[in-house]
A and B are shown apart, each in its own frame.
With several copies, the nearest count.
Chain A
Amino acid sequence: MEKESLDAKLEAILFIYGEPLSLQTAAKILQVSLEEIRAARAVLEKRLLGSGSGLTLLTHGENMQLVTKPAFAQFTEAILKSELQEELTPAALETLSIIAYAGLVSRSIIDYIRGVNSSFILRSLLIRGLIERSLDPGHGNAYRYAPSFELLRHFGLSRFEELPDFSRLNGLLQKLTPGSS
């Protein structure tokens, strides 16, 4: 696998990074010189054009970004639309209810209560604007989730404490997840 070419490695990190990445950062991550990265970028650009790929390389000065070919930009909207038009699944509803009744809750607590991994559903609820996330202070890169103001407005409530049976259900949640916040 050491023989894999630099342009392939560059493609992989651009794929993950998503945003524009500078030549300098790419060189640092791949542990090669700037010249080598520049050469790899040229190879990657040419390969994507020549191989009939659906992706292409955007270049802005020292920055580069892996994106879909311009002709395919329309798909983003179609995919987003089809995602949003899907009904909320029971799993999504369950996750949302935990967040709403908790007020502010970490992913590990949500996973613990549900007994399954919730990362995909959380992302989907975020995209729908039903929840918000913020960094969990003191927990590295972990996030905490809260219901969005839009959701509150949608319900015609002024605060989440007005949800049906709030104090009892919120209390149950506190009891079942000891020592956590």
Chain B
Amino acid sequence: MYEVKLEQFSGPLDKLLELIETKQLEITQVSLAEVTVDFLEFIKTLGKNVPPGTIADFLVAAAKLVLLKSKVLLPDLELTEEEEGEIKDLETRLALYREFAARSGGASRELSQLWMRKEIAYSRPLLFTALEKGVFYPSPWLTPETLARAFNKAIAALEALTPEPGKVKGLIISLEGKIRELLTRFSEAVAHSFRNLTKDRSRSEVIVLFLAILHLLKERSISVEQSEQFGDILVRKSGTISKE
């Protein structure tokens, strides 16, 4: 049964909480920006055995972190109201999650302690003393056909549970591959605009590109520049001079 395997993967909020608590930070936008690179590093380590849906969850969180990090890296970068909202939402959710998260004590620890106490109250089974032989009480409308219908419904629900692969798979694009692709293109042209890089690409690819750029930023192999508000972001290899 697959549930055992699947439930072991913690989600992006759990990972973020772990990173923040390891650094003993409070949950603020600044501390989220601080752990963004570690978070992206972690995504790279997610192997093939991680369900596509989980990877997608991580990428969605990563996109928000990237926004947040961009704001810190590029103070001029203006965020839309919606983007500001997304960042704020991540912060609020993380604070709420911390109250219940297994890793951070809180409610989960209280429940765990109650559970471990093993002070269990016991009840009597339904109509303990009334279970006598000879009673037969079907519903008037209980027929072989109603049984067959009920059975078909139950089986259909069970079949629907089987995880469908492939659906989210398109979202997963190797981060490593993107980084290599970026480096090649940087050697061809000195400066690339982000708009050019992301032209004709799917939303998920744009996210991955963002991650790649951030990763390179961290390694100092590129620098980014935004000349005006709402303007395009220029990405260039470190050590070269802008021609513009």
Q: Report the minimal beta-carbon distance from A128 to chain B, rounded to whole angstroms.
A: 5
**Cβ of B54 < 8 Å from any Cβ of A?**
yes
* Cα–Cα, bound, A89→B134 (Å): 22
The verdict on B150 contacting chain A, using a C-beta distance below 8 Å, is: yes
* Given A88-B112, A163-B148, A164-B145, A94-B126 contact (CB < 8 Å): no
Contact partner of B151 (CB less than 8 A), chosen from A101, A124, A129, A154, is: A101
Which among B6, B54, B107, B115 is the interface contact of A154 at CB below 8 angstroms?
A: B115
**Contact assessment for B155 and A165 in the assembled complex, using a CB-CB cutoff below 8 Å:** no
Q: Which of A125-164 contact B (CB under 8 A)?
A: 126-130, 148-157, 162-164
Q: Are A153 and B135 in contact (CB under 8 A)?
A: no
A128 touches B138 (CB 8 A): yes
Among candidates B99, B101, B117, B126, residue contacting A124 with C-beta atoms closer than 8 Å: B126
Report chain A residues within 8 Å CB of B115.
85, 88, 154-155
| B45 contacts the other chain (CB 8 A) | no
Contact partner of B127 (CB less than 8 A), chosen from A58, A66, A80, A165, is: A80
Q: B154–A71 contact, CB under 8 A?
A: no
Q: Least Cβ distance of B88 to chain A in Å?
A: 15
Known: A97-B107, A115-B12, A163-B147. A68 touches B122 (CB 8 A): yes
Number of interface residues of B (CB under 8 A): 70
Contact with A88, one of B106, B126, B130, B142 (Cβ below 8 angstroms): B142
With A19-B126, A96-B147 as given contacts, are A154 and B142 in contact (CB-CB < 8 Å)?
yes
In which size bucket is the chain A interface?
Answer: 35 or more
Judge whether B111 and A127 touch: CB under 8 Å: no
The DSSP consensus for interface residues of chain A is helix
Q: With A97-B110, A112-B1, A115-B93 in contact, is A154–B136 under 8 Å at CB? A: yes
Q: Is the CB of B120 within 8 A of A91?
A: no
Query: B11, B118, B136, B157 — which one has the most chain A CB atoms within 10 A of its CB?
Result: B136
> Given the complex of chains A and B, what is the CA–CA distance between A146 and B103 in angstroms?
23
B147 touches A116 (CB 8 A): no
From the candidates A79, A121, A173, name the one contacting B155 in the complex (CB within 8 A). A173
Alpha-carbon distance between A76 and B143 when the two chains are bound, in angstroms: 29
* Residue interface bits B103-144, CB-to-A below 8 A is 1, else 0: 100111011101101111111111111110011111100111
Residue from B96, B129, B161 within 8 A of A76 (CB atoms):
B129
B53 A117 Cβ-Cβ under 8 A: yes
Given A16-B124, A173-B155, answer yes or no on A94-B101 (Cβ-Cβ < 8 Å): yes
**A90 at interface, CB cutoff 8 A:** yes
Q: Which residue of B lies closest to A124 (CB)?
A: B3
**Does A39 interact with chain B (Cβ within 8 Å)?**
no
- On whether A115 and B126 interact (CB within 8 A), knowing A88-B112, A89-B7, A155-B115, the answer reads no
Q: Does B200 contact A (CB under 8 A)?
A: no
What are 13 contact pairs spanning A and B, CB under 8 A? A16-B124, A66-B123, A69-B121, A70-B120, A80-B130, A91-B7, A96-B142, A97-B147, A112-B1, A114-B154, A120-B2, A164-B110, A165-B110
| Extra 7 A-B pairs, beta carbons < 8 Å, given A128-B137, A155-B144 | A56-B121, A67-B123, A85-B120, A93-B112, A116-B12, A126-B131, A156-B114
* Residues in A lying within 8 Å of B, measured CB to CB: 12, 15-19, 56, 58, 65-71, 73, 76-77, 79-80, 82-85, 87-94, 96-98, 100-101, 112-117, 120-121, 123-124, 126-130, 148-157, 162-165, 169, 172-173, 176
Where the two chains meet, the residues of B that have a C-beta atom closer than 8 Å to any C-beta of A are 1-3, 6-14, 53-54, 57, 61, 93, 96-97, 99-103, 106-108, 110-112, 114-115, 117-131, 134-139, 142-148, 150-155, 157-159, 161
